[in-house]
Amino acid sequence: METVTVLGAGYVGLTTAACLAHLGHRVHAIDADAARVHRLQAGEIDLLEPGLPEMVRAHQQTGHLSFSTDPGSRIGGSDAVLLCLPTPARVDGSADLAAVRSWLPHLRRHLSPGRRIILKSTVPPGTQRQLVTVLDRPDIAMISNPEFLREGHAIHDWLNPDRIVIGADEPESTRYLSSLYTSLDAPVVETDPTSAELIKYAANTFLALKITYANTLAELCEHIGANITDVRTGIGHDPRIGNTYLDAGPGWGGPCLPKDVRALVSTGTRTTTDLGLLHALLETNAYHQRRIVTLVEQLLPRPLTGARVAVLGLAFKAATNDLRDSPALHIANLLAARRAHVTAYDPAIDASATPTAGQLTLTESATAAVAGADVVLVLTEWPEFAELPWHHLARDMRGDVVLDTRGKLDRTLLRGAGLHLRTLGEPFSEIAAARTA
Ligand code: UGA
């Protein structure tokens, strides 16, 4: 059993702390946000993450997991300190390392000789080397060990990793991490710290590229009369391509992919590497978000200005209440900026506690959002949207069209309710035919 400190109790930090306690270690998590720490001490977890609150509370009760704001008392007695601190994007897209750097004086002062720092924050390639210089403690190993968990699947992904990437200069670091992650069964990629840092950005950027490729193909399908679902299946069977991250949608978003692609572009700029492909990626993703607004406009029987648009889903994906860089929220705001009356509902968002601007109003139910709508726009793939009483909702609508950007609704069910279902990447003549009939 190791005694470890986790710095940062956000998504990655809290999951890491809980899972390390689950593996049998004694874990203390420190966060600079006193209010968050007080809530955690009381067993209150703000994140919507399946299984995480239960795991945190269980290990608090056994005494294997504790929280505080005080670095001094715990860092000194730790075998290792894991850095799980945020690295948000600066205005120019580069990663802001202020939170990571702010802990270096504490680590320099309190860490005992021979201990390790494990860098799990997503940081630009070359950061570990810079931090080692600033830390100026040659007796402490700093290991780059990026995390690949997805929101909504955090515990599963942490405990069942596809791979464990270890970027270190000392072979002993791999032995140490193997003992820390004792029962995790995954291939280990041993490399240097800079390559480990790049692996994290390269992985997220590749996922973004795949999704954007699917969105591009979906638009092409609409123009040539092909079907994206079949095309996706057809290419996905090729193991060199794989069948995940090919779901067409309203563009990718969330707290990680947009930030990481921008940070990689920024690394390219800094090192005068031609990353034109990634510039195109960012532009194309923004285009696919704007394209949804254009589709709504085309589906409406009246001008967008003054039209009533019901938005179902605001979180950046299902199973989370995270609105950071959410394509759904962005599209809802774009519609409101065009002076549409937008009423939005998301099962994980508290309408009364979430501030909105302009003509965007949040509601507490799908029924309230859809009432009087000229068009319904599904932006997050919550399974419950497929289960809504569409017959009942259709009666309250002013229009008869549903644009499902996630492709999760049942066409037959909606047709039975008298609604036209428009999806991405499928030929669509239904409404035009209905309107001219
Ligand atoms: C992402 C990565 O998947 C994780 O491996 C990584 O550890 C994490 O970022 C991170 O850097 O911390 P996450 O942000 O939770 O995880 O989100 P994803 O599930 O990857 O989804 C990202 C975006 O792509 C969402 O907007 C989602 O709706 C969209 N998406 C995903 C699609 O539009 N189509 C798909 O087929 C898959």
pLDDT tens-digit profile of 24-54? 999 999 999 999 999 999 999 988 999 999 9
Per residue in 154-201, pLDDT (tens digit) is 999 999 999 999 999 988 998 999 999 988 999 999 999 999 999 999
Segment 123-151 mean pLDDT: 97
135 has a pLDDT exceeding 70: yes
pLDDT of residue 46: 87
First to last CA, the chain: 73
Chain position carrying tokens 């009942």: 392
- In 10 A of CB 70, how many CB atoms? 11
Plot region of 372 (φ>0 → left; ψ -120 to 50 → alpha; else → beta): left
Residue 404: what pLDDT?
98
The identity of residue 291, as a single letter, is R
Q: What is the pLDDT of residue 226?
A: 96
- 192-437 has the same fold as 3-190: yes
Q: From the CA atom positions of the chain, what is the Rg in Å?
A: 24
What pLDDT does 357 receive?
Answer: 76
Could you report the per-residue pLDDT of 350-369, keeping only the tens digit for each?
988 887 877 899 999 999 99
Would the CB of 246 count as within 6 Å of ligand 1?
A: yes
User: Would you say the CB of residue 245 lies under 6 angstroms from ligand 1?
Assistant: yes
Q: Which atom of ligand 1 lies at the shortest distance from residue 380's CA?
A: 28
Residue 57: phi, psi to the nearest 5? Answer: -65, -40
317 Cα–ligand 1 center, Å: 8
Check if 149 has its Cβ closer than 6 Å to any atom of ligand 1: yes
Confidence of residue 344 (pLDDT cuts 50, 70, 90): very high
Query: How far, CA to CA in Å, does 288 sit from each of 264, 280, 386, 400?
Result: 21, 12, 23, 24
Once rounded to an integer, what is the mean pLDDT over residues 402-417?
A: 97
Which distant-in-sequence residues (6+ apart) come within 8 Å of 238 by Cβ?
none
- Residue 215: per-residue pLDDT: 98
State mean pLDDT over 107-116: 94
Question: Closest Cα to residue 248, out of 232, 225, 233, 235?
Answer: 232
The architecture in CATH of the region 3-190 reads 3-Layer(aba) Sandwich (3.40)
pLDDT greater than 60 at residue 436: no
Q: What percent of the chain has pLDDT over 90?
A: 91
Instruction: Extract the tokens encoding 7.
Output: 């710095």
Structural domain boundaries in the chain: 3-190, 192-437
What's the pLDDT tens digit per position in 145-156? 999 999 999 999
Please say if the pLDDT value at position 231 is more than 90: yes
The Cβ of residue 277 has, within 10 Å, a number of other Cβ atoms equal to: 11
Residue reference for tokens 């920024």: 266
Among this protein's residues, is 84 annotated catalytic?
no
pLDDT score at 437: 53
Q: Which two tokens stand for residue 147?
A: 């995390």
pLDDT given at position 435: 59
Q: For residues 237 and 24, give the distance between their C-alpha atoms in angstroms, rounded to a whole number.
A: 40
Amino acid at residue number 128: Q
Q: Cα of 108 to ligand 1 centre, how many Å?
A: 35
Cα distance between residue 87 and residue 99, in whole Å: 7
CATH superfamily for 192-437 is NAD(P)-binding Rossmann-like Domain (3.40.50.720)
* pLDDT higher than 80, residue 112: yes
The enclosing H or E element of 21 equals helix 11-22
pLDDT, the chain, mean: 95
Whether the Cβ atoms of residue 396 and residue 306 lie closer than 8 Å to each other: no
DSSP string of 234-254? HHHTSTTT-SSS----S---S
Which residues are bridge partners to 345 per DSSP?
Answer: 312
